[in-house]
Structure 1
């Protein structure tokens, strides 16, 4: 394996910093549940509260964190605010997590 140049290492360090920040953001169970639900399409706060059984104060706090980090975006329609995942990298990571932890196991693995 060729050795990395100083420039390569600087880029790798910056990428590792970004990746670690995103993983820390997603490591909160409530935020992860919110992102999983929002990966299926935009949703308003009331629907998220009912679907996920997360109380409104906690829900608002966690949505605020995700919004401040630029991971979700909002759209207002009348009195309702709709949230959606706005970072494609997050959607890709959520898909990987779904495949690893949520997707039904193939038949050959289920019967072991």
Structure 2
């Protein structure tokens, strides 16, 4: 391969991309957030169902969902008293799908 033909992005663009990648990895660096995001990568879910299905207690669940909302990793919609969450960032969803394929046992 000839490196002279390879086009590299400018350093400032690489730094910005690295910043975004590190932010995503920090989100995934917490076990409860990773579990929540992996669950949500399979489809939209409401808070009460996540609490039961994942076994994450309400205070922790609320705290971690707040972090994910603040970082724009998830989006929400309200239906009556229920709030439904889904993964909002396509790049994060692609990362989650890769992690799911590599680390989660086949169903």
In the superposition, the TM-score normalised over structure 2's length comes to 0.89
Matched position secondary structure for 2:27: helix
Map 1:5-84 onto structure 2 (within 5 A): 8-84=10-86
Decide which structure has the larger Cα Rg and report it: 1
Matched position secondary structure for 2:23: helix
Matched position secondary structure for 2:10: helix
The residue number in structure 1 matching 2:100 is 98
- Whole-angstrom distance in 1 between the partners of 2:31 and 2:79: 28
1:86 corresponds to 2:88: yes
- Whole-angstrom distance in 1 between the partners of 2:62 and 2:49: 13
| Cα deviation 1:20-76 (Å, max 9, x = unaligned) | 111011110000000011111111111000010000000000000000100101100
The residue number in structure 2 matching 1:109 is none
In the superposition, the TM-score normalised over structure 1's length comes to 0.85
**Structure 2 alignment gaps of length 5 or more:** none
